[in-house]
Structure 1
């Protein structure tokens, strides 16, 4: 059974992603650029084709953030902001996350280990 990326945050009302929806979904993930900003802030720029909605693009950015968090030796990330745009048939996202060794304050927190496992299950690439 496959779960939506939103389940990563621990939402109790998550439902399985429908198989028929996945059958029609065949995105092309075109790359991730990671920029360490300052302190614990990290910027992720991701590009993809074939996104159904902005949520697919945001999931791609979240997967990149989760893997980067683990690479840096931390366990948690917190979403700060994401902007998206469609240009020339490609979706682009500019997302900023904080990374930390302990669970940060806020509602948009991510357990990086759980998130990366879910991204792999869903076939979403990471850094």
Structure 2
């Protein structure tokens, strides 16, 4: 992750429950340096949502990022679970939420 770009503006996030443990996150921001900034925002939102649902872990399924007119949009899908799921793209929600707070990236 890392510090967000100077002057970044987070325009909000939407959450769509696709299945009991499969969630779609739509995020928008201005001032991103590239896809990695949008992906970091989506991860922060996903981590907070995971905790709100009472789970501790999430696994990234996919993220699509595009930019149009200076607005960056991310469309990410995560699975959420109480135990560490298999796979290489897993996150510990508590750790990620804490890091997002330290880095100044919103989680909602």
Q: TM-score range by the shorter chain?
A: over 0.9
**Moved >6 Å (runs of 4+):** none
Report SS of the residue matched to 1:37: strand
User: Residues 58-73 of structure 1: matches in 2 within 5 Å?
Assistant: 58-73=39-54
Aligned-pair distance for 1:37?
0.6
User: Residues 32-111 of structure 1: matches in 2 within 5 Å?
Assistant: 32-111=13-92
Max Rg structure: 1
In the superposition, the TM-score normalised over structure 2's length comes to 0.95
Report SS of the residue matched to 2:20: coil
In the superposition, the TM-score normalised over structure 1's length comes to 0.81
Which structure shows the bigger proportion of residues in strand conformation? 2
Q: RMSD value over aligned CA atoms?
A: 1.4
Which structure shows the bigger proportion of residues in helix conformation? 1
1:117 and 2:98 correspond: yes
Which segment drifts farther, 72-81 or 23-32? 23-32
- Cα–Cα, structure 1 residues 36 and 23, in superposed 2: closer, same or farther, change >3 Å? closer
Residue-pair matches, total? 108
Q: C-alpha distance in 1, partners of 2:57/2:87?
A: 12
Note the residue ranges of structure 1 that are not aligned, 5 or more in a row: 6-16
CA-to-aligned-CA distance 1:40-67 (integer Å, 9 cap, x gap): 1000000000001110000000000000
